[in-house]
Structure formats: C-alpha cells, structure tokens
C-alpha cells in the first residue's frame, strides 16, 4: 500500500501518452514532428478477420468468461504449432487486451516479488504495485544487450529464498527490440526451475520476430511459464482489445480459478464480434502466413536500416531481433550533452522534440535510472498498408514512388 501511494501510479499519466499530446501541440503550431514515440502497429488488420468482424457485428450475447470455446481451441492449436510447445485450450483465458490479463495474474498470485527487468515495458511495475505486490527491479545493461541474466535471478533468490517470485520476461522486448540467445534463455529457465520462480512470458511481439525463429519461453520451462499474446501487434488490432493467456496445468487449479474469478468480476467477457474475428485471425492459412511474413520483412529492413544509421552517426544501438523498437544509448555523448544542460533521458527527449521535432520516449519511462541517456525509438511511422501490398525491399518501394 505504501509503495502504491508513494509512486502514485493511479494518478501518473503514462509517459507514452504524454509524448503524443506534446507532439500534437507542436503540430497544431505548424511544426513538423518526426514521430518515433508512440508504438502502435503500422499495419492494417488482417483483412479476413475484418470480414468476420463485420459478419458478426450484430452478435449481442455475452460470451463465456474464459473466452469463446472455439477461440480458445484455435489459439491453443495456433500457438502449439508456431511455438512448438503444448497449449491446452482448457487453460487459455481470453481477455480485453493482454495488459489486463497481466494485471489479473499479478492480482491472483499470493504475496509475491515481481521481478521486473529495467528497461522493460512501462506498465509492469505500476501494475505490480497496484496489485499489492512487491516490484523488484533487475537492472540490465547495454553490454548484455539489455537482457537480465541468470545471475540476476540467482542473486535475488538467494537474498529472498522464502518469497514467491514471478519473473516478467518479454521478448522480443519493448523497449529494446531484443531477445536473449537460446543459451541465455535456457540458463534463465534453468535458474527459474531450480528456485521455483514462475515466469510470465509476455510474447505479444513473438510473431514479429524478424528473422529466424521466435523461441517461446514455455519451450524451455513449460511447467512454470504463463504466456501472454494477442492481436495487438502482429494483427495490427490494438484497439480491438483482445489478448490471450495460457496458464499451464502444472501451476494447479487454484491460481487459475482466481484468474477466472477476477475476470468474471471485472471484464465479464471480451466483445463477441471481436472474439469471432479472432477465431479467423488465429486460423493458419497461406494468406495469414504471407501477411505475417511481409510484416517481418518490412520491420526487419527498416529496423536494421535505422540501427545502422544511428551507429554510423555515433549513437550506439543494437540491431533489433523483432518488434518495432530500438533502444539507442547516448552515453558516449554524455559530456557534450551535459555542456548543453542535458543530464537525464527525460531532458534529452524533451529537447530533441523541441529543438529537432523528433519525438522519442525517455529510458526513464521504462525503469532506467533518470541519468542514463537512453531513449526508445519506435519505427512505425510509415505507410504499413502500402508496404503490406508491395513486394521486394522497402527501399525498392520508396524508389518507385
Ligand atoms: N506488453 C507489451 C510489452 C506491450 O508493448 C504492450 C502494448 O503496448 C502490451 C503488453 C499490451 O498489449 P495489449 O494491447 O494486448 O493489452
């Protein structure tokens, strides 16, 4: 309770939304703004899913709290195949976005430490505190490609052996665009298993792994991994508010029952037409494969290009593994920036917006120390619909316009 009041999570406006407001203000004054702040999918929703939504527009009934059985079945089949790890339809929960599912899980746990990497997505720590849990920060560095290590987890487990622990794991990550190597992931899974740490694998960007294979965390730790996903990123449908969660049977029936209890007392069920549309989205077809593949190609090319340009301009950043973010680090410019009065990431992003019209988010919004000069860059301000229709490279497409 004390932490909740101190951090005032309930009244703090999300940094990601603030940057939007500031950008709009500058634009209303006639200034050009380069939008790298807000991270929403630039691609249109998968068209067959839109058709299904329209066909079901008149559906008016509440659906079962856990989710439409046909959808749970489809989601389990889909993820079972693409992630090569078993999902059971009876243990899938459908919610209004994965965000609320994450919160419901934290709320459903008995008293726990929620281990949250820094940097990581803005909402994990406020959610943990609002759920009455202890948020524990695990600090990662540029050198480890912003990954928390097995040693981080080991150290915390040794310091707090008695407490239940939930590790939040998000790959490809927001804000970094990065995923651990297979070896690193296995080591995390091993240490989690050894100490009985639960893992919350937020794999909302899993289907947007650019190249190679997304390796679901549940593949390495099936019995202890709760996985979330949904339509917001790979299906371009953030505003539809449809998320999914898989809770393995190994975690027992009590936690699961509490999740469903929270669902039934809060959101009741996700909108019927959206659940019907999601059945289509989660049915593998050649058209769906092509839709996903094209998104990965486009995001990969743009992400690699942005990273190369930044590195060439002496702003260090890792080339992304997936999703649509980069996490550049201005550390080597610390002195020059300090000479201009810039000593925090918040000041850096404020000045970049004011002086150069470039909208970015500060690393501090993602749990980094305020004085660490990192920013999140979302590379989504392009014509996703046109690029989805096109073939060849993004550069070819641009040249032909
Ligand atoms: N997790 C991460 C890492 C995200 O970036 C987002 C969306 O911004 C979410 C979860 C929430 O997604 P949803 O739209 O499913 O609630």
How confident is residue 1, by pLDDT bands cut at 50, 70 and 90?
very low
| Distances from the Cα of 248 to the Cα of 4, 93, 256, angstroms | 30, 11, 9
Question: What percentage of the chain reaches a pLDDT higher than 70?
Answer: 96
Same domain, 70 and 158: yes
Same domain, 369 and 330: yes
In the reported structure, the alpha carbon of residue 73 is separated from the centroid of ligand 1 by a whole-number distance in angstroms of: 22
Q: What pLDDT sits at residue 3? A: 35
In the reported structure, the alpha carbon of residue 271 is separated from the centroid of ligand 1 by a whole-number distance in angstroms of: 18
Look-up of token digits 């407001």: 21
**Within a 13 Å sphere around the CA of 289, how many CA atoms are in the beta-carbon half?**
5
Same domain, 248 and 361: no
Q: Which long-range contacts (CB under 8 A, 24 or more apart) does 24-32 make?
A: 26/353, 26/357, 31/357, 32/357
Out of 234, 269, 284, a domain closes at 284
With 0-12 / 13-18 / 19 or more C-beta atoms within 10 angstroms meaning exposed / middle / buried, residue 339 is exposed
Would the pTM count as exceeding 0.90? Answer: yes
Same domain, 279 and 291: no
Same domain, 231 and 356: no
Distance CA 10, CA 22 (A): 21
* CATH code assigned at 141: 3.40.640.10
Same domain, 336 and 294: yes
Q: What pLDDT sits at residue 88? A: 98
Same domain, 217 and 315: no
Same domain, 53 and 127: yes
Same domain, 128 and 257: yes
Same domain, 21 and 62: no
Q: Which token pair is 322?
A: 């997936």
How many structural domains is the chain composed of?
Answer: 2
| Distances from the Cα of 338 to the Cα of 293, 330, 356, angstroms | 43, 11, 18
268 Cβ contact list (under 8 Å, min separation 6)? 62, 65
Out of 284, 303, 323, a domain closes at 284
Q: Domain range holding 358?
A: 2-44+287-399
The pLDDT tens digits of the residues spanning 71-102 come to 999 999 999 999 999 999 999 999 999 999 99
Same domain, 201 and 270: yes
Q: What is the ipTM of this complex?
A: 0.99
Mean of the per-residue pLDDT values for the chain? 94
Same domain, 16 and 56: no
* CATH code assigned at 25: 3.90.1150.10
Q: What pLDDT sits at residue 8? A: 58
Pocket of ligand 1 (CB under 6 A): 97-99, 121, 170, 174, 202, 204, 230, 232, 238, 243
Question: Which residue among 19, 121, 236 has the greatest number of ligand 1 atoms within 8 angstroms of its CB, and so is best to mutate?
Answer: 121
| Distances from the Cα of 32 to the Cα of 27, 66, 120, angstroms | 6, 46, 29
**Within a 13 Å sphere around the CA of 331, how many CA atoms are in the beta-carbon half?**
11
């Amino acid at each position: 309770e004390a932490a909740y009041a101190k951090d005032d999570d309930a009244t703090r406006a999300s940094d990601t939304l603030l940057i939007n407001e500031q950008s709009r203000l500058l634009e209303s004054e006639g200034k050009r703004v380069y939008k790298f702040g807000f991270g929403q999918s630039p691609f249109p929703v998968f068209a067959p899913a839109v058709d299904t939504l329209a066909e079901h527009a008149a559906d008016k009934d509440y659906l079962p709290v856990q989710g439409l059985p046909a959808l749970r079945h489809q989601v389990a089949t889909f993820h079972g195949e693409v992630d090569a790890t078993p999902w059971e339809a009876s243990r899938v929960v459908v919610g209004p976005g994965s965000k609320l599912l994450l919160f419901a899980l934290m709320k459903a746990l008995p008293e726990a430490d929620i281990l949250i990497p820094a940097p990581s997505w803005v909402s994990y720590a406020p959610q943990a505190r609002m759920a009455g849990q202890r948020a524990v920060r695990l600090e990662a560095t540029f050198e480890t490609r912003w990954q928390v290590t097995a040693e981080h987890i080991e150290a915390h487990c040794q310091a707090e052996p008695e407490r239940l622990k939930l590790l939040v794991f998000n790959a490809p990550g927001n804000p970094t665009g990065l995923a651990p190597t297979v070896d690193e992931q296995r080591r995390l899974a091993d240490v989690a298993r050894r100490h009985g740490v639960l893992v919350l694998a937020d794999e909302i960007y899993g289907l947007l792994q650019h190249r190679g294979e997304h390796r679901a965390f549940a593949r390495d730790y099936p019995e202890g991994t709760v996985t979330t996903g949904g339509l917001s990123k790979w299906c371009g449908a953030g505003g539809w508010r449809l998320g999914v969660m898989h809770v393995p049977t190994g975690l027992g029936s009590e936690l699961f029952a509490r999740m469903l209890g929270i669902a039934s007392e809060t959101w009741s069920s996700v909108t019927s037409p959206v659940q019907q549309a999601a059945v289509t989205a989660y049915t593998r077809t050649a058209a769906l494969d092509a839709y996903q593949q094209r998104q990965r190609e486009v995001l990969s090319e743009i992400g690699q290009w942005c990273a190369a340009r930044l590195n060439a301009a002496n702003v260090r950043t890792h080339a992304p593994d997936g999703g649509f973010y980069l996490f550049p680090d201005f550390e080597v410019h610390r002195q020059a920036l300090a000479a201009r009065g810039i000593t925090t990431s918040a000041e850096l992003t404020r000045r970049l917006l004011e002086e150069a019209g470039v909208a970015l988010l500060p690393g501090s919004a993602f749990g980094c120390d305020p004085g660490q000069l990192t920013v999140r860059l979302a590379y989504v301000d392009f014509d996703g619909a046109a690029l989805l229709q096109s073939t060849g490279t993004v550069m070819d497409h641009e040249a032909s316009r």
